Structure 1
Amino acid sequence: MKMSRKKIAILVAALLIVAGIVIQAVWRPFAHRKATNAGEVVLDIHHPDAVIDSEALARLPRDMLRVPLLHDVLTQDFVDYYESPNTRLSAEGALRRLAFEHQLDWRDELIHRVFDEPAHVLLWRSPDGRLGYWIMSMRRNGLAKLLQGLGNVAASDAQLSQVAKLSGDVPVYALKLAVGRTLLFATKDDRLVVLSAPGVLLDDKGGLLGDRADAVSDMLSSGHDDAARAYQLDAPGEAPKGHRLVVSANYLSFGYQAFFSGIEALRFDFSPNGSAAASWRTSALIEPGKLPQQWNSAALWRALPANAAACTSLPADCKEASALLGKVADGSDAAGAIGFRLTGPAAVCWYAKSTLVAPVFIARVKTQDKAQDAASIATLKTALDKTFGDVIGAYEVKAAKTDGDDTAYRRLPVTRREQGADVTVWQRPVSARSGTASSSKASFASQLSAERYFPVTLALAHGYLIFSPDARLVDDTLAVLDKRYPALADTLAPARLPRTILTLTPSSAAALIEREAGAALPADQEAVFRNASRAHLTPKLRALAHYPAVSLTLPHTLPGSTGWVPVEWSFDRAKGDAGSDNDSPQASADQPGTEGD
């Protein structure tokens, strides 16, 4: 039957309406009455991972570049990127659109001023590891005018809606910036609180999360939260001067705080003084009761090889680390007992001769009287022998079968050798494309599964336990202990040796990073990124390489209870340099960024 044009038009219109209903039901592009919510996000509202107090957040990136070393390494792109992030640009655009469409008296300078006012920001890590969740609170009389009439706007706007009410009937608004990107904010008097995602405050059904709603209400009423108590900070003033950044050690250590048990957080303070010289100061929140041997690292620096790209002392909780090792070794009692024989802080170092994935680790072994020590060392060797054999190694498809068992986990054998009365070395080759050794000259090359391998090595020598995936670094450390190779301590100021917690040699670090970047970007596979690396990364690394070695040092006397202590940044020159002295004030004064900067 032939249809008339009128019937065809009606049918097409009906199909479009049905399609629109289906799209709205599935995609919901016009569901602006409810904020986009992917569910409650996981965070501890009482203990943020980072805190920022700033006189003006927009000036923070530029003030960071007032440190000469950062100025030489970072580019203007860094400032441009963080001065105008996507969230800010989207929010500014949304506010301008609201002002235009609803005829609000919001001038551009008023909108701009909102983003450059004193701010207090709490941040938490998101699933991708970034500080992706945050709550920002601000106070400024100028906000009152900008926020007038929001209720009327929210009732009729597709991008702005009211989603909840806090105690005291304080409305919570959702500002949709893009698909899957929505900010929440609430206002009371002249205070404003902004949340990075609905899930920071709302549950899966859009209801308020009790403890977080209470925290936001407190911020709106008093401007206070639990961050000051969590990090033993002075409550931020009404108008903070400069910037204060606090970052938890748990976040900086990617959750491995068992290796940083005595450090709770790091703090960076910037005080404007009107001069070109930077005035950043660094502090650490220390819990002395958890610091092994008051974090004296002198013995470690005397055992590690010189010319390290980077070294850091780790105030590790050996008992907790031992429990972790026991889990890795499937509950082995031998693995669990190793940590109980270690003492003091440990250390990890990277060297330009090796790779980023193959540092060297070192820890000290507890000493006892001769009779007990001999028996204890024998027991420790047995535990190390079993644990190294159980934990280290990868499946080698070409490896020889053992004991005629076709189902056995095939790995290359562990070699153990005694190098004198006090030195025992274990080693096992492990195939890996990123290995530090080539298999071409190895006697066991036919059994390896890749063209390269890691000569994973463990040594017990002269009261130290040494481990590295690269045997060369273990050999160099053994040479230091035998007085055949210069120690890292030879390049550090003797007076600062016990309290030095980190040392960095920019020339070695730059060489290591440049080579690793080249290896990660093969010319035949990553030509575009390799060219970008040569154009942008290499010049900055070479600028970094001109700086002398820098070290971080704690005060000689630590507090008796948990508290903040200053961390000093010192530039060191190698001994023998003409006209230099590591302990000379002038040697530090003529270097940029010193005086705790």
Structure 2
Amino acid sequence: MKMSRKKIAILVVGLLVVAGVVIQAVWRPFGHRKVAENSEVVLDIHHPDAVIDSEALSRLPRDILRVPLLHDVLTQDFVDYYESSNTRLSAEGALRRLAFEHQLDWRDELIRRVFDEPAHVLLWRSPDGRLGYWAMSMHRNGFAKLLQGVGNVATSDAQLSQVAKLSGDVPVYALKLAVGRTLLFASKDDRLVVLSAPGVLLDAKGALLSERADAISEMLSSGRDDAARAYRLDAAGDAPKGHRLVVSANYLSFGYQAFFSGIDALRFDFSPNGSGSAAANWQTSALIDPGKLPQQWNGTDLWRALPANAAACTSLPADWKEASGLLGKVAGGGADNAAAIGDQLTGPAAVCWYAKSTLVAPVFVARVKTQDAAGIAALKSALGKTFGDVIGAYEAKAAKADGADAGYRRLPVTTRDQGADVTVWQRPVSARSGTAVTSKASFASQLSAERYFPVTLALAHGYLIFSPDGRLVDDTLAVLDKRYPALADTLAPQRLPRTILTLTPSSAAALIEREAGAALPADQEAVFRNASRTHLLPKLHALAHYPPVSLTLPQNLPGSTGWVPVEWWFDRAKADAGSNTSAADTPADQPGTEGD
């Protein structure tokens, strides 16, 4: 039956509602909090924080669950959450109302067509740190031509209005979904672009932001944008196969990319080669700039210094010059001491979490350049001064130190030498989440809380070691003295140089379970504790049954910036034997394949 112009316009409005909630509802973690309708959004239109290319957005959550580990941890709840979110349910209610009032029987078909269409999504971080702003481009295969009827409705509709014109007299429409939530959209020929907020394209006065307007116009004309150039990707085709997710390292590191120099982004590709789960898998890649990698990101020395049985460890290709600049801004000793420390550090760093400690108290290890006795003495002086300036909090009960400011008291720093090559600095810091019990300390009367952190720094045998939990520093020193097994003893020797991450699910699950219990005391959080026991603990117990896993880069990195594959290795032999022997050289083609 031929549709009237009015019915076409109503159909298009419904289409746009659902197109909007593809991101707002189905991708709820990327949703953002309310912002002023007329505020300009701060973002770089040419360099998004994340990119999604999907053959069908509706299938992405289920395809993520093809990774067996994620399937056991997230289960069907991951998909059901997005299917029943408040935003999506309210949008479906609006569609039912439109269909009822105008006697249209297209709701199910409309949702299916929108969610099953290919989509190209650019995402940027919002002020709350989430990927809250987005621009979605769709090739509608002729369906977007129905948008030609929107102009007639926009002249008299309270929810739909024309707010601007792009080059070529392409109108930009605003669709108000609720108070504080408005989508912008524009169409040209068979292309449609939807924006998450007016501020993505318009300034505070409602005028077009020229640079962004040009970018949106290009997306409408050719379907292309600068994301492919920014991340060195092949331009997405009109009909992408599977899914491609790209996330910048700057976003993943919360802006602290000085500790991740040389890593520009991570990419996850899903290739559907058939209908069964065994015929499809996820591939992982990293965008590497080898010129910024310290010692080509060789972590062998770090894995030989760190204690075994870590819940999780990762190496960090740190830019020590930039990191020392950050340290100089917070250290009372100024930039000189910070620069002296940064100049003497080399290669990547590493951070590890252990089940015996807490999530907020990992251990950090870095290599120190080989130097003479005078250089070591200068480094010790800079470390001691900086540690005393930076570490510590106000202690109301602490005794006033000689010459110290009476208004700001901290416990003293203790320094001890453990042989010719080992110096350890430590300062207790009161904290409710501390790793040590105050009552067992000789200085308990000076602490302000029932627990405290024995924050510790050590310079030993060419390594710099730091942790809020002094026990982890002691364990690392024991490894260097050959009195405790090293993490390297549990990894395949041939993979040591290129291993960038290790995870022991059983230890990680135990750590998370204990942290959840500490955060939800039975006498204060009975409801949440019961929910944790019902929903979280079964997932953690399922996670604990997985064997240790490690991620490695190829032995030979490219000569210039480019994507390199990241290999996953599961240590099945160790899991079966329950020993600390060297890991079996058992590759997992990728964690999405059957049995991995």
- Common fold, TM-score beyond 0.5? yes
* 2:424–2:459 contact (8 Å) kept in structure 1: yes
- The match for 1:189 is 189
* 1:569–1:595 contact (8 Å) kept in structure 2: no
Alignment match of 1:342 (pick from 319, 324, 345): 345
Deviation at 1:243, TM superposition (A): 0.1
Distance 1:437 1:392, change over 3 A: same
- The match for 2:66 is 66
Q: Which moved more, 1:452-461 or 1:587-596?
A: 587-596
Letter in 1 for 2:47: H
* 2:262–2:290 contact (8 Å) kept in structure 1: yes
Distance 1:595 1:77, change over 3 A: closer
Equivalent runs, 1:220-369 vs 2, <5 Å? 220-274=220-274, 275-277=276-278, 278-330=280-332, 331-368=334-371
Q: Which moved more, 1:95-104 or 1:302-311?
A: 95-104
Residue aligned with 1:149, SS? helix
Equivalent runs, 1:106-505 vs 2, <5 Å? 108-144=108-144, 146-274=146-274, 275-277=276-278, 278-330=280-332, 331-368=334-371, 373-403=372-402, 407-505=406-504
Deviation at 1:156, TM superposition (A): 2.1
Structure 1: stretches of 5+ with no match in the other structure: 1-34
Q: Which moved more, 1:95-104 or 1:185-194?
A: 95-104
Residue aligned with 1:61, SS? helix
Q: How far apart are the structure 2 equivalents of 1:39 and 1:578?
A: 59
Q: Which moved more, 1:331-340 or 1:266-275?
A: 331-340
Q: Percent identity?
A: 87
Deviation at 1:153, TM superposition (A): 1.6
Structure 2: stretches of 5+ with no match in the other structure: 1-34
Q: How far apart are the structure 1 equivalents of 2:418 and 2:144?
A: 76
Distance 1:170 1:410, change over 3 A: same
Deviation at 1:148, TM superposition (A): 4.0
Deviation at 1:211, TM superposition (A): 0.7
Letter in 1 for 2:497: P
Deviation at 1:195, TM superposition (A): 0.3
Q: How far apart are the structure 1 equivalents of 2:110 and 2:300?
A: 56
Q: How far apart are the structure 1 equivalents of 2:195 and 2:434?
A: 45
TM-score, normalised to structure 1, is 0.89
Q: How far apart are the structure 1 equivalents of 2:98 and 2:192?
A: 18
Q: How far apart are the structure 2 equivalents of 1:263 and 1:576?
A: 31
Letter in 2 for 1:515: R
Q: Which moved more, 1:203-212 or 1:225-234?
A: 203-212
Kindly tell me the number of residue pairs found equivalent between the two proteins.
558
Spell out, residue by residue over 1:165-203, the C-alpha distance to the aligned partner (whole angstroms, 9 max, x if none).
111111111111111111111111110000011111111
* 1:567–1:596 contact (8 Å) kept in structure 2: no
Letter in 1 for 2:201: L
Larger Rg: 1
Q: How far apart are the structure 2 equivalents of 1:208 and 1:446?
A: 63
Residue aligned with 1:123, SS? strand
Q: How far apart are the structure 2 equivalents of 1:476 and 1:208?
A: 59
Residue aligned with 1:536, SS? helix
Q: How far apart are the structure 2 equivalents of 1:138 and 1:321?
A: 41
Q: Kindly report the root-mean-square deviation, in angstroms, between the aligned alpha carbons of the 2 structures.
A: 2.3
Q: How far apart are the structure 2 equivalents of 1:256 and 1:452?
A: 29
Q: How far apart are the structure 2 equivalents of 1:183 and 1:104?
A: 23
Q: How far apart are the structure 1 equivalents of 2:133 and 2:589?
A: 41
Q: Which moved more, 1:128-137 or 1:146-155?
A: 146-155
TM-score, normalised to structure 2, is 0.89
Q: Which moved more, 1:386-395 or 1:550-559?
A: 386-395
Letter in 2 for 1:482: D
Residue aligned with 1:128, SS? coil
Q: How far apart are the structure 1 equivalents of 2:562 and 2:349?
A: 23
Distance 1:243 1:86, change over 3 A: farther
Deviation at 1:253, TM superposition (A): 0.4
Q: How far apart are the structure 2 equivalents of 1:95 and 1:522?
A: 44
Distance 1:307 1:377, change over 3 A: same
Q: How far apart are the structure 2 equivalents of 1:579 and 1:505?
A: 12
Q: How far apart are the structure 2 equivalents of 1:346 and 1:225?
A: 36
Q: How far apart are the structure 2 equivalents of 1:404 and 1:387?
A: 18
Q: How far apart are the structure 2 equivalents of 1:590 and 1:292?
A: 28
Residue aligned with 1:352, SS? coil
Deviation at 1:98, TM superposition (A): 5.1
Spell out, residue by residue over 1:284-328, the C-alpha distance to the aligned partner (whole angstroms, 9 max, x if none).
000000000000001000000000000000000011111111111
Residue aligned with 1:509, SS? helix
Q: How far apart are the structure 1 equivalents of 2:75 and 2:389?
A: 47
Q: How far apart are the structure 1 equivalents of 2:423 and 2:292?
A: 31
Q: How far apart are the structure 2 equivalents of 1:528 and 1:110?
A: 40
- The match for 2:571 is 572
Q: How far apart are the structure 2 equivalents of 1:339 and 1:419?
A: 24
Distance 1:229 1:405, change over 3 A: closer
Deviation at 1:144, TM superposition (A): 3.1
* 1:569–1:594 contact (8 Å) kept in structure 2: no
Distance 1:401 1:595, change over 3 A: same
* 2:567–2:590 contact (8 Å) kept in structure 1: no
Q: How far apart are the structure 2 equivalents of 1:208 and 1:576?
A: 59
* 1:401–1:408 contact (8 Å) kept in structure 2: no
Residue aligned with 1:338, SS? helix
Deviation at 1:89, TM superposition (A): 4.7
Residue aligned with 1:165, SS? strand
- The match for 1:43 is 43
Distance 1:328 1:268, change over 3 A: same
Deviation at 1:459, TM superposition (A): 0.4
Residue aligned with 1:429, SS? strand
* 1:280–1:596 contact (8 Å) kept in structure 2: no
Letter in 2 for 1:120: H
- The match for 1:537 is 536
